[in-house]
């Protein structure tokens, strides 16, 4: 090799550090430290931060005793007993000193202001189930983040298969077992399912779907996936729900991975608990994946928060599927009428006149703001607003049909403040 030719520095050797119970020293308490400390704590490290000041986000860790803070400038004795060091100040001279002191002690040290001068580098990391990903971008952190995001997204969406060939450990809740996953699909918009729900859906052999589950998700399923419409299951001697339970169990016992895709959250008026119980009884492995319930999200998307400081300190979610005077009703309507907070009624379109009447009869103010939101989160969404006294008539006049959510309470009036003003229609052309 001729003189003057320098070879590039070799690539770092990638390793995973087991930091549980080990002393890690973070020098600096600013924005970079704020980003690194949670990962160190998640790995079980015993973290000491040395810095004259720390960001407010780190303070609760100090108060709770999850990190130790030395409120002063760095001193080389800070590195005593450490396994790993991060030099994260915005002062290059201090960071250089920390790296040198760590080097003298043969402790690996990251340097935030100039990664090439540290003896360790922090990769962009991600995790999906049991799989961890660490990416170094060849000196370009943005490239590392972009690659990391691409890999994690691919795993989440099922484009990159992370399933082991052997059956996974049962305690890993995020890896699908053969069996049943009862998945909450959210209020209807395909984007409002959880990440876990979507990933499990991508692995399904069979999807048993409700009318209110986000139908647009079905378009993404691979051609071999069997889609069963729960409403159309042949019942024979079964009740509808028994037929669904039997269908889940049967497919799972045949070795298929079944996703039971439901609207909203499976455990909010969704009979998800009955389905889970049926699987448990049959000895079928079953997991529940919570969903974004329509009870909260549909009003929210329509500009109605369920609580608001000074307006409502309580919100009650009630089923209106039975008339208030139905002997089978478990709802204390007179009690609800005395409530000052927010009332969220599901399945209440047909009984709305009787429900409003019983609330008024037991003392709720007729002028209480009320709203009905039909098809929340979907392109067909409609909102009818009024007062408790007038809402049943207004909903009927507007032809509101299920699925719809009724909200009663002062929070309904916040809509005007929370929704952007309507865009004025363009002036008609010449």
Q: List residues binding ligand SAH (CB under 6 A).
A: 187-188, 212, 263-265, 268-270, 293-295, 298, 346-347, 373-378, 402-405
**Residue 272 Cβ, how far from ligand SAH at the closest point, in Å?**
7
Pick between residue 179 and residue 266 the one whose CB is nearest to ligand SAH: 266
**Strands of 46-50's sheet in order across:** 67-70, 46-50, 23-27, 84-87, 108-111
Query: Collapsing DSSP states into helix, strand and coil, what is residue 391?
Result: helix
DSSP 383: E
104: part of which helix (H) or strand (E)?
helix 92-104
Which residues, at least 6 apart from 281, have a Cβ–Cβ distance to it below 8 Å?
A: none
Q: Minimum Å distance from CB 204 to ligand SAH?
A: 19
Tell me if residue 210 is catalytic.
yes
CA 40 – CA 425 distance, rounded (Å): 53
d(CA 44, CA 20) in angstroms, rounded, equals 4
* Integer Cα distance of 229 and 261 in angstroms: 10
Q: What minimum distance in Å lies between the beta carbon of 308 and ligand SAH?
A: 21
- Between 374 and 385, whose beta carbon lies closer to ligand SAH? 374
Residue 319 CB, nearest distance to ligand SAH (Å)?
Answer: 7
3-class DSSP assignment, residue 337: helix
Q: Which is nearer to ligand SAH, 24 or 388 (CB)?
A: 388
Q: Which is nearer to ligand SAH, 102 or 295 (CB)?
A: 295
Sign of CA dihedral 359, 315, 297, 244: negative
Identify the helix (H) or strand (E) that includes residue 200.
helix 195-202
Return the number of the residue (51 or 268) whose C-beta is nearest ligand SAH: 268
Instruction: Closer to ligand SAH by CB, 101 or 375: give it.
Output: 375
How far is CA 10 from each of CA 5, 168, 400, rounded to the nearest angstrom?
Answer: 15, 37, 68
3-class SS shares of the chain: helix, strand, coil, % to 5: 30, 20, 45
**Minimal distance, residue 398 CB to ligand SAH, in Å:** 14
Residue 221 burial (10 A CB sphere; 0-12, 13-18, 19+): middle
Rounded Cα–Cα distance for residues 324 and 346 (Å) = 14
Cβ proximity to ligand SAH, 188 vs 386, nearer residue: 188
The encoded tokens of residue 11 equal 């690539």
DSSP states of 113-174: S-GGGSSB-PPEEEEETTEEEEE--TT-HHHHHHHHHHHHHHHHTTSS----SSPPPTT-TT
Token pair 């037929």 is at which residue? 243
Of residues 255 and 328, the one with the C-beta less far from ligand SAH: 328
Name the minimum Å distance from CB 72 to ligand SAH: 52
CB-closest chain residue to ligand SAH: 264
Say which of 101, 210, 265, 375 is annotated catalytic: 210
Question: How far apart are CB 361 and ligand SAH at their closest, in Å?
Answer: 23
Tell me how far, at minimum, the Cβ of 376 lies from ligand SAH, in Å.
3
Apex 329 CA angle, 328 and 332, nearest 5: 145
Q: CA 393 to CA 351: how far, in whole Å? A: 12
Active site residues: 210, 232
């Amino acid at each position: 090799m001729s003189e003057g030719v320098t070879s590039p520095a070799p690539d770092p050797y990638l390793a995973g550090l087991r930091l549980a119970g080990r002393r890690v020293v973070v020098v600096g308490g600013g924005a970079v430290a704020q980003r690194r400390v949670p990962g160190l704590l998640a790995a079980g490290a015993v973290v000491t931060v040395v810095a004259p000041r720390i960001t407010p986000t780190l303070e609760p860790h100090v108060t709770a005793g999850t990190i130790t803070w030395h409120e002063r400038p760095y001193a080389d004795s800070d590195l005593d007993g450490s396994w790993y060091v991060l030099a994260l100040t915005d002062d290059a001279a201090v960071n250089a000193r920390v790296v040198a002191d760590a080097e003298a002690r043969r402790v690996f040290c990251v340097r935030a202001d100039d990664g090439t001068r540290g003896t360790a580098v922090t990769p962009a990391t991600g995790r999906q189930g049991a799989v961890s990903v660490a990416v170094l971008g060849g000196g370009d952190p943005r490239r590392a983040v972009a690659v990391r995001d691409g890999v994690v997204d691919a795993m989440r969406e099922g484009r990159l298969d992370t399933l082991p060939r052997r059956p996974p450990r049962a305690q890993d809740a995020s890896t699908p077992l053969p069996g049943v996953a009862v998945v909450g699909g959210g209020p209807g918009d395909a984007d409002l399912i959880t990440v876990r729900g979507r990933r499990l859906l991508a692995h399904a052999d069979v999807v048993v779907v409700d009318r209110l589950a986000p139908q647009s998700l079905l378009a993404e399923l691979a051609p071999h996936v069997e889609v069963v419409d729960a409403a159309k299951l042949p019942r024979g001697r079964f009740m509808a729900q028994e037929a669904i339970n039997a269908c889940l169990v049967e497919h799972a016992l045949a070795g298929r991975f079944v996703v039971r895709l439901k609207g909203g959250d499976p455990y909010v008026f969704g009979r998800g608990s009955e389905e889970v119980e049926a699987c448990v009884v049959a000895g079928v492995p079953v997991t529940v994946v919570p969903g974004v319930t329509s009870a909260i999200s549909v009003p929210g998307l329509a500009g109605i928060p369920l609580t608001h400081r000074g307006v409502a300190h309580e919100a009650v979610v009630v089923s209106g599927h039975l008339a208030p005077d139905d002997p089978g009703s478990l709802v204390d309507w007179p009690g609800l009428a005395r409530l000052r907070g927010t009332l969220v009624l599901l399945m209440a379109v047909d009984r709305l006149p009787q429900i409003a009447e019983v609330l008024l009869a037991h003392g709720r103010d007729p002028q209480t703001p009320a709203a009905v939101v039909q098809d929340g989160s979907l392109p067909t969404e409609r909102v009818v607003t009024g007062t408790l006294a007038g809402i049943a008539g207004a909903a009927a006049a507007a032809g509101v049909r299920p699925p719809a959510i009724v909200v009663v309470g002062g929070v309904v009036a916040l809509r005007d403040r929370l929704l952007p003003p309507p865009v004025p229609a363009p002036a008609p052309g010449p």
